[in-house]
Each structure stands twice: as structure tokens, then as C-alpha cells.
Structure 1
């Protein structure tokens, strides 16, 4: 048994229990959050869940242990990626739910950062990762996607879409995915002010955090 297996939190769920369409990670996470809320693993309203969109100015982010990778170390260069982080109480680890990861499912946040983000790995500045953290109750209310970003200039699909209908937001929006994907280094919080946790609970698009502050941020909202 490996160290990662020893750290795996107990759960009756497997990644195969969730909807998963390759290259539609934002929709996969949307339905993952709904399922966690409905089956009692998360709060019914999703108050302990956060959608985290990972990207940067260049839309080039390296992440390790990704199932789509052809490399032994699982590294892949995404334009963006979307995961769910669950805030845990009573001293338990925060958990990362990533349907595209080969790590334990779910995975402790510290392990995920160490193994997937690998902040100790020296990267050129254009590959630095930034994290847009959005509270799930707000995300489920506002998020919408008509999948236009997955069509080429001639209107052909660049990846086969899910069989279900596109997500329309509770507020009536039909497409605003681009608003979540616009992640820039200039927008990232360079320190963690005391009121930052209040912002993430009230702002539609959450807050943008650099990789060096991700774990610290979640420790402050425990």
C-alpha cells in the first residue's frame, strides 16, 4: 500500500459513479456538486463546497496525475481545469474531488497540491497556475454553458458534447463560462486579507488566488 493510499479518505463513492464527459470538466463538476449535495456527502445547499477553476493568462497550465495524459507521471497541459474542494470541519482534511485525476478520489487537499500542482517544481512564469474559488451555492445559481467554446470556426465540435441538454443557470443565463475562465495574474490576491473569506461567500465569480496561497486560504475558512 502506497502513502497516497494510506491517506485516502473513506468514501463509498467512486469516480465512475459521477457523470463524466471528457473535456467538459466544468459541467462534470457542476453535476458532481449536485450529487454530493443530494446524497448527503456534502451539505444539502453546498455550503461546504467550492468550485475551483484553474487557469492563467496564457491558458496553459501543467497538472500532474491526469488520466488523459500519455506520460508515466500523468502530466498534461490544460487550457483550464475545474475541480471541487470540500471544506471539512473537526480537524479533518479538506478534500479535492477531481474526476480527471488518477489520485485517490476524493484526495486530501495537501496531497493534491503536492502531487498535482507541485508548487516545488520550478516553472516558467507563463505556466504559473491561478485558482478562481467560487462558493458552490453561487456557482449552481449563476453558472451556464451552451458549449460554444467547444466548436471550431466552422461550427464543428472539437470534442463530443454530453448527451444531456446544456446547463441553463437558475438566473436564466445561457452562457457565462468565459466569465469564470478569465483568470489573470493581475487579479490574483497577493496576500490574504481578513475579509477575503467574506468576499468568496458573496461574489458571483469568487476570488482569484495564486498557488502559493491556496491551502492557506482554505485553512482560514475552516
Structure 2
């Protein structure tokens, strides 16, 4: 693998709050010089499907030896570096941190593993500068009807968007097969760089998207 490993412990991580973990990961990468100051080389990837059952391997939270976990959704960060290398930052993965995109996809999604069509993974790609401005979560999705937490939340205050929105996580994780674009082309790349919710791509289009960025 071409990328150099980074000590994952330098980044905050709260189990089951991957969207907030990635939000602050991006901010830290920008602040410490590991990414562009404006985050323009970073992309947020939401992984899910219509069933809200997404199989990923090499996950730290797994109880299985192969690291298999079934998430309702998962969130990672992909960086397209200035030397054109593409790496994945996944705070929940047991793989090298970060991992080259091709290696990560091969090991984490196991494309050769046959899934029923309704469990196919889809990927919402959002440009980090837009995500950092517009994403918001008041963590309501992690509360039981009686107000108790399903999992202890991060110590920091909930994330509020620049425009004052307090919760829109549901918009990002609403990922359906019907929303996937037909082709990844220049127009779709422009959409990611301008639209709050980016685009949804099929698993076979994920790597293709990043090779099209200039």
C-alpha cells in the first residue's frame, strides 16, 4: 500500500456517531495541514441502501473474526491528494489508517461477495466544504422514545449548521437505489461541488468518480 499510516488515536471517536466523528476528522485534517485548509480535497461518503442494512467488513465494532458489521448507515471521508492518490479515512475500520481507496473498497465491501439486490450498497458523495457548512445533528436519531440514549453521545455540543439548521442528518442518510446516477461525468462532479446533498452512486461507480476529478 502506498499511503503512510497515521495514528488514529489523535482523532476523537465516539462509537455509533460516525457522522460527527467524520465531521471533526475533516476539521482536524484541515487544521493540522494533512488536507487543504478549506477541505477542498476531502469528500464525505454516506453508505446505505433502501433496507438500511449495509454489510461492511473489518469494522472495529464487529463481534466476528472477519470484522463483519451490519450498519443502518456508515460515514467515511475520502481524500484525493495533490499527487492524485486517493485514500479513505474510516475511524471505525481496523484497516490501515488511512487506506488507499482501491484497497479499502476491496477489503471493506468485498465486491465478490454476492449480496441480494435489496442489500446492495449505495454511496452519497458530498464535498467536505459544503458538508462542514450545512450538516447538522441534534442526535435525535439516537434517542429512545423515553428520551434515553441508545449510545452515549459525544461530549461536544451537537453540530448546528451555518444557516442555523439543528438537524438534517436524515436527509443525508436517505439513500435509495432509485437515486443513483446513471453515469459519472463532468456534470455529476459539478453537482457534488455545488449541491448540499451531492450525488448518490452505485458501488461500481465510487472509484470511477474520484478518477474523474481534476
Give your verdict on TM over 0.5: yes
- Secondary structure of the residue aligned to 1:131 is strand
- Matched residue, 1:218: 210
Runs of 4+ displaced beyond 4 Å: none
Question: Offset of 1:197 from its aligned partner?
Answer: 0.7
The TM-score with structure 1 as length reference comes to 0.94
**Alignment of 1:9 onto 2:3:** yes
- Secondary structure of the residue aligned to 1:195 is helix
Which whole-Å CA distance do the structure 1 matches of 2:119 and 2:212 have between them? 27
- Matched residue, 2:181: 189
**Alignment of 1:118 onto 2:110:** yes
- Matched residue, 1:3: none
Which whole-Å CA distance do the structure 2 matches of 1:38 and 1:89 have between them? 17
Q: 1:89 aligns with which of 64, 82, 85?
A: 82
Superposed CA RMSD in Å reads 1.0
Question: Offset of 1:29 from its aligned partner?
Answer: 0.2
Q: 2:11 aligns with which of 18, 39, 60?
A: 18
Q: Deviations over 1:82-102 (max 9, x none)?
A: 0000012334x2000000000
- Secondary structure of the residue aligned to 1:204 is coil
- Secondary structure of the residue aligned to 1:209 is strand
**Alignment of 1:165 onto 2:157:** yes
Q: How many residues align?
A: 214
Which whole-Å CA distance do the structure 2 matches of 1:190 and 1:214 have between them? 12
Question: Offset of 1:23 from its aligned partner?
Answer: 0.1
Matches within 5 A, 1:32-71: 32-71=25-64
Q: Deviations over 1:8-38 (max 9, x none)?
A: 5125x31111010000000000000000000
- Secondary structure of the residue aligned to 2:154 is coil
**Alignment of 1:145 onto 2:137:** yes
- Secondary structure of the residue aligned to 1:158 is coil
Question: Offset of 1:194 from its aligned partner?
Answer: 2.9
- Matched residue, 1:199: 191
- Matched residue, 2:170: 178
Is residue 133–residue 206 contact of structure 1 (8 Å, CA) maintained in 2?
yes
Q: 1:98 aligns with which of 75, 83, 90?
A: 90
Q: Which deviates the most, 154-163 or 142-151?
A: 154-163
- Matched residue, 1:4: none
Is residue 8–residue 106 contact of structure 1 (8 Å, CA) maintained in 2?
no
Which whole-Å CA distance do the structure 2 matches of 1:114 and 1:123 have between them? 15
- Secondary structure of the residue aligned to 2:186 is coil
